[in-house]
Chain A
Amino acid sequence: QQQVRQSPQSLTVWEGETAILNCSYENSAFDYFPWYQQFPGEGPALLIAIRSVSDKKEDGRFTIFFNKREKKLSLHITDSQPGDSATYFCAAMNQGGSAKLIFGEGTKLTVSS
């Protein structure tokens, strides 16, 4: 049972466009949602994260929008650059529980120039 789901599986945008990556979850106890970025041949690295008390988190060109009622969140990458081409993983954690992250399946983003 996949507790964290991502869509689309892959996404291609042109340089300068906004990429939108979607994520949904099932467990209402999840209260922390990091996004990890992974380049080919490397391990994932934390990109940006949001806690459930917030509905928006910005960090430069990266913004998370969070809808607690619908159990959905999205990562927006504005002014996409070829260097943003990577796989993005949405993850979730119950901070009051164990130190376990539950990862989604990932979205492979390609930014074409």
Chain B
Amino acid sequence: EAAVTQSPRSKVAVTGGKVTLSCHQTNNHDYMYWYRQDTGHGLRLIHYSYVADSTEKGDIPDGYKASRPSQENFSLILELASLSQTAVYFCASSDRGNQDTQYFGPGTRLLVL
């Protein structure tokens, strides 16, 4: 069954440390996305990618980097984690021919102390 998986599922990080969140999809989809979810803000797009080795800035990219080394994998990197980056992070994928529908992973709960 096609799926989007994320690792880790939860993480505690220290302020100023580096954090890498990983996403893997078996949907054979071209497009991948990273969102953060905060209470009262819904889902906000951080970075996205149309194709391997290329990434695009979303609506709130500051403080985040993204890497798409292959069609299946998309990582979100926090070089210097800050308290304000405590949130739940979701990865999603969509097909180029049906980009309307995004398939989400289960999320990563990040706590920055």
Contact = CB atoms under 8 A, between A and B. Distances in A.
Given A43-B106, A100-B48, A100-B58, A89 B100 contact: no
B44 to A, nearest CB: 7
A32 B40 CA distance: 23
Given A99-B94, A100-B48, A100-B58, A46 B102 contact: yes
Interface stretch (A60-68, A78-86, A102-110): A102-110
Contacts of B59: 102
A13 interface: no
Contacts, number: 52
Interface of B: 4, 31, 35, 40-45, 48, 50, 56, 58-59, 90, 92, 94, 99-107
Interface of A: 4, 6, 9, 32, 34, 41-46, 49, 89, 93, 95, 98-106
Given A41-B107, A93-B100, A99-B50, 4 more contacts: A99-B31, A99-B48, A101-B45, A102-B59
